[in-house]
A = this chain, B = another copy of it.
């Protein structure tokens, strides 16, 4: 079912198609009376400009794509929500793509969307740097939870967050922590580990690492067992999902939390406040990150690739203290 075209409006209004077009896009080039008349006729006919015809000419699509590494992770919901809201606010459409933790799928989907979106928000992209750089030459790209010199990004301040975590653990008397690492291709996993290690070093605390693990509840058992093997008194899991799995395994093995070990997660997903014991976790305004990412992208899409150095939005994190951490035994 096709709607009325600019021709229909032109005929009905008794003017040329170009006049109709200009009545919408270049009001100054059309007489006020004519313009009113055209607009009225268009309104009455229910005319809506065809976005494809427009895009064909301008290569402007009023659409942004958001690619997430794993849509299954509840943490992304907030991010997606923020992005969706920001896009809608500017009358942009948000296309959602799930990369299923695969660089291959991610790249393929991006290629497919390349000609029909104005830019990409890549959340926790698993793509190698070269691919990202190459992509950025073709369309504006904003990274989320990842950094690459030269590209704009939006993320939470995990370096400071890791410092908060270590400080918190330190104040509880912990002298030995272990990081339950995320996937090898995850930039975040690398960043968190290095930030934790640095902070631990500064505090004179020992820091070990086990993993990598796929950050899902189901992997928590494996991660917990590996972490117990290190003898650490504090477990810092790559994210809340993994942390919750760890909690479950520890309960199964009758290891008290926080009596025997303390557990910390990342993301502060909804469930972190409901599990038992409630999870101490590094939270932040994820929706704002999504919002910021789209915002940067829209600006870039309008201005073109020009402009100064790429924007880098870093939002603060805050440690949400709950019952999964306590003084060392």
Contact = CB atoms under 8 A, between A and B. Distances in A.
B51 A116 contact: yes
Interface string A253-297: 000000000000000001100111000000000000000000000
Contact of A274 (B55, B71, B275): B275
A35 interface: no
A95 B98 contact: no
A194 interface: no
| Copies of this chain in its oligomeric complex | 2
A93 interface: yes
Nearest to A244: B274
A84 B71 contact: yes
With a 10 A CB-CB cut-off, give which of A84, A112, A116 has the most chain B CB atoms: A116
B80 A96 contact: yes
Contacts of A275: 274-275
A84 B80 CA distance: 13
Contacts of A111: 48
Contacts of A31: none
A275 B244 CA distance: 12
A321 interface: no
A274 B276 CA distance: 7
A11 interface: no
Nearest to A279: B274
A71 B81 CA distance: 7
A268 B61 CA distance: 38
B72 A81 contact: yes
Nearest to A112: B91
Interface residues of A, number: 44
A59 B51 CA distance: 11
Interface in A46-104: 48, 50-53, 55-56, 59, 61, 71-72, 74, 77, 80-81, 84-85, 88, 91, 93-98
A138 interface: yes
Given A81-B98, A93-B95, A96-B94, A2 B59 contact: yes
A207 to B, nearest CB: 28
A85 B105 CA distance: 12
B52 A56 contact: yes
A137 B1 CA distance: 8
Contacts of A1: 137-139
Given A56-B52, A80-B71, A94-B95, A115 B3 contact: yes
A191 interface: no
8 contacts: A52-B56, A53-B56, A56-B56, A74-B74, A93-B112, A271-B271, A274-B274, A274-B276
Given A50-B115, A52-B52, 17 more contacts: A1-B139, A2-B59, A3-B115, A52-B53, A52-B55, A52-B115, A56-B56, A71-B77, A84-B96, A84-B98, A93-B95, A93-B116, A94-B96, A95-B96, A96-B96, A270-B271, A276-B276
